Amino acid sequence: MSNTNKTTGWQVQDVIYLAIIALFFGVIYQLWSFPYTLIAATPLKPFANDLTIGVWVMAGPLASLIIKKPGAGLLGEVIAATVEMFLFSQWGVMNLIAGFIQGAPAELGFTVTGYRTWSKRNLFFSSIFMTMITFVWDLFQNGYLAYQLPLLISLFIIRFLSIGFFAGVLVYLIAKMLHQAGLR
């Protein structure tokens, strides 16, 4: 898989890939709300968000890794969240805010190298930034401030593992398969 960017501006093909990624993940995000809701209806409710968040942040890193352009991660996540919202998401317009909060740190993972590389290391940085920034958001938005420190630590670790697996490992494997298939 190529680690460098060969062109500077956005091409029509880039926009098409972005649209496909965003549409696909918008549908996946909407469908993924069902496992979240099932977990949230059990005594595991405090863990529901952190166990499932990894899937909800996949569009940004995949868009960045496939398109290899500044802004692709943020746009991919926000557009996917918009698609999810229009599919009658239970979170409504909050999807747009969540898309930005999840997409910005995905983008940061590639910004730290000045958009010079598009690698596993960038996905690792994205995973770290997404874990930290979305966790801080949930401290306020989802009432995590009411939790005791041991539970907060557990939730943070679970979130990092979920994001690391889905938005790191799985995204890397998807991008590698697309590259091997000659699609990017």
pTM of the model: 0.93
pLDDT at site 183: 85
Report DSSP letters for the chain, one per residue. ---S-S-SS--HHHHHHHHHHHHHHHHHHHHHHHHHHHHHTSTTHHHHHHHHHHHHT-HHHHHHHHH-STTHHHHHHHHHHHHHHHTT-TTTTHHHHHHHHHHHHHHHHHHTTTTS--SHHHHHHHHHHHHHHHHHHHHHHS-GGGS-HHHHHHHHHHHHHHHIIIIIIIHHHHHHHHHHTT--
pLDDT per residue over 74-111, tens digit each?
Answer: 999 999 999 999 998 888 999 999 999 999 999 999 99
- HSE at residue 103, side-chain half, CA atoms within 13 A, is 25
Question: Could you say which residues of the chain have pLDDT below 50?
Answer: 2
